[in-house]
Amino acid sequence: MVTGAMQLWLRAIITLLILIITEGHPVDITYLQSAVAKGAVCLDGSPPAYHFDKGFGAGVNNWFIQLEGGAWCNNATTCLARTKTRLGSSKLMVKTVSFSGILSNKAKFNPDFYNWNRIRIRYCDGSSFTGDVEAVDPKTKVFYRGARIFSAVMDDFLAQGMKNAQNAILAGCSAGSLAAILHCDRFKGLLPPGAKVKCLSDAGFFINAKTVSGASHIEQFYGEVVNTHGSAKNLPQSCTSRLNPGLCFFPQNVAQQIQTPLFLVNAAYDSWQIKNILAPGVADPRGTWRDCKLDILKCSSTQLETMQGYRLEFLKALNSLGPSSTRGYYINSCYAHCQTGTQETWLRDDSPRLAGTTIAKAVGDWYYDRKIFKEIDCPYPCDKTCKNRNFESDARPLDTDNIDD
């Protein structure tokens, strides 16, 4: 016998499937076999991969490239573990993904970029596409070659027509978004001098904050990522020339020196950052933050106060970038992570709004120079357009944590 609760659950699942079918469209995977000879491979040595939906009409010479997210691995053990997942092996990736949000091919859902060449590069190196170690780990047989993957796929796109690009955006979600920031100027340098090139960071502005126990967990972790993958030589020299390379994984230390126009989409209460930077499992052994991290409505008044403090730290890091005539940002107060690749948060009747504006309109206006958008939302819970969303389509917890999401 089907209970009332079961009926509601089934109805919700059916509604979600209908939305996926009507709002997204399937795009098959492409394995870049030619990259293997260049040593540009996933952690397990398999070829890099991407999903490519070709542009049409007026958008044939416009390119939108999204770098997939999925956290990082910081040592031989955690990187070996990733080789058993899609985040370390293209052999384990699904063959088809659904493009929606900023990747949609429908003008109704993506008015400014729907007819561009839209590409999603899969993430399988664990270093935000920055690693490059020549030697293969003799014990684990793991390859650390993320930067080579970035170069190889870009060469492939240039050969497929990106060398004639008129407009281009390098974007990403989470760890892929961090990669978009780190590779932003390099990407612009690959394209024709007359091309309009900008970069978009979605949930990639990770800040160097202490945990609830007072430890510098994320700073130590990023340092280990950079050391394990040999990333230092592929990070912006404007940062590594003055700071320890591990600190150059934090956008607050990098973005000010980026010459290419950059737009930041981020939640001030980024759900991944709350779970993994503020209150990771190692800093919360008794699990007192567990329910709060899964559902902001279950946070105690003390936990909410701590999260308000994290928001202030986030805004301080953002403000440290200083003024810029080309940089834009959309900082809302949703409990979310990655909002451009999901139709519900990118552009729909019930999408979040900041200053009465959807993320899609803010990004489109900024890219086409119709309006520079720089807005910061009021503190939680004043924004009623969020509906307590908690989207993490591309995110994964740090390999050192025991978060189960």
Give me the active site residues, please.
Answer: 174, 270, 337
CA atoms within 13 A on the CB side of 323: 1
CB 64 within 8 A of CB 171: yes
Question: Rounded to an integer, what distance in angstroms lies between the CA atom of residue 337 and that of residue 267?
Answer: 7
Q: How far separated are the first and last CA of the chain, in Å rounded?
A: 30
Dihedral sign for Cα atoms in the order 327, 172, 72, 134: negative
The burial class, CB within 10 Å (0-12 / 13-18 / 19+), for 3 is: exposed
Question: Rounded to an integer, what distance in angstroms lies between the CA atom of residue 184 and that of residue 279?
Answer: 30
CA 272 to chain centre: 11
Tell me whether the omega of the peptide bond preceding residue 261 falls within 30 degrees of 0, making it cis.
no
Helix, strand, coil distribution of the chain in percent, nearest 5? 40, 15, 45
> Residue 53 — φ and ψ, nearest 5°?
-110, 110
> Residue 266 — φ and ψ, nearest 5°?
-155, 145
Which residue, chain included where needed, has tokens 């493009």? Answer: 99
Question: Rounded to an integer, what distance in angstroms lies between the CA atom of residue 340 and that of residue 4?
Answer: 34
Contacts of 243 (CB under 8 A, 6+ apart): 253
Beta-bridge partner residues of 173: 202
Which structure tokens are listed for 77? 């053990």
